[in-house]
A and B are shown apart, each in its own frame.
Chain A
Amino acid sequence: MSSPIISLKGLTKHYGSLKAVDDLNLDVQKAEIFGLLGPNGAGKTTSILMMLGLTEPSSGTAHVCGYNATSNPIAVKKKVGYMPDNLGFYDQMSALENLVYIGRLNGLAETKGKARAIELLELLGLKDVMHKKTGTFSRGMKQRLGLADVLIKEPEVIILDEPTLGIDPAGVKDFLALIKQLSKQQGLTVLLSSHHLHQVQQVCDRVGIFVNGKLLAQGNIDTLSQSLFGTDAFVTTINLTQAVPQPWPLETELKQFDALKKIMIHDQEIEFTCSREFTAPLVRFLVEKGYDILGVHQKSYGLDEIYQKYFESNSINQTKP
Chain B
Amino acid sequence: MKSQPATRKPFGVMVHKEIADQIRSWRFAVLIALILLTFIASMYVSLSNIKSATGNTNDPDRIFLYLKLLTITDNSIPPFHVFLSFLAPLLGISLGFDAVNSEQNNGTLIRLMAQPLYRDNLLLAKFASAMVIVSSLFVALALLMIGGGLILTGVRIEPEEFLRILGFIALTIAYVAFWLSLSITLSVRFKQAATSALVAIGIWLFFTIFYQIVINLIIKSIIPDPNFLSQAQVMYYNELILNLSRIAPNQLYTDGITTLLMPSVRSLGPITMEQMAGAIPSPLPFKESLMIVWPQVSGLLASTIACFALAYYLFMRREIRG
List the one stretch of A83-91, A201-209, A239-247 in contact with chain B: A83-91
**Are the CB atoms of B317 and A74 closer together than 8 Å?**
no
Bound-state Cα–Cα, A102 to B115, Å: 8
CB proximity to A under 8 Å, residues B1-47: 3, 6-7, 9-10, 13-14, 17, 21, 24-25
Bound-state Cα–Cα, A234 to B6, Å: 56
In the assembled complex, B77 has its CB within 8 A of some CB on chain A: no
Q: How far is the CB of A282 from chain B (nearest CB, A)?
A: 50
Task: Name the residue on A nearest B115 (C-beta).
Answer: A105
List the one stretch of A51-59, A174-182, A224-232, A302-310 in contact with chain B: A51-59
Task: Name the residue on A nearest B11 (C-beta).
Answer: A105
**Are the CB atoms of B322 and A84 closer together than 8 Å?**
yes
In the assembled complex, B225 has its CB within 8 A of some CB on chain A: no
Residues of B within 8 A of A161 (CB): 322
Residues of A within 8 A of B14 (CB): 105
Residues of A within 8 A of B114 (CB): 52, 54, 77, 80-82, 84
Residues of B within 8 A of A78 (CB): 116
Question: Interface size (B, Cβ < 8 Å)?
Answer: 28
**Are the CB atoms of B106 and A90 closer together than 8 Å?**
yes
**Are the CB atoms of B321 and A77 closer together than 8 Å?**
no
Most buried by B among A54, A77, A78, A85: A54
In the assembled complex, B244 has its CB within 8 A of some CB on chain A: no
Contact status of A88 and B106, CB under 8 A, knowing A49-B319, A105-B14, A161-B322: yes
Task: Name the residue on A nearest B6 (C-beta).
Answer: A107
Residues of B within 8 A of A104 (CB): 9-10, 13
Per a CB cutoff under 8 Å, which of A55, A90, A105, A149 touches B319? Answer: A55
Q: How far is the CB of B117 from chain A (nearest CB, A)?
A: 6
Chosen A-B contacts, 17 in total, with CB atoms closer than 8 Å, are A52-B114, A54-B319, A56-B317, A74-B7, A75-B116, A77-B115, A77-B117, A81-B114, A82-B111, A84-B111, A87-B110, A101-B13, A102-B111, A102-B115, A106-B10, A106-B116, A107-B6
Known contacts A49-B320, A80-B114, A153-B115; 10 further A-B pairs (Cβ under 8 A): A54-B319, A54-B320, A74-B7, A84-B107, A84-B322, A88-B111, A90-B108, A92-B25, A101-B13, A104-B9
Q: Chain A residues in contact with chain B, CB under 8 A?
A: 45, 49, 52, 54-56, 74-75, 77-78, 80-82, 84-92, 101-102, 104-107, 149, 153, 161
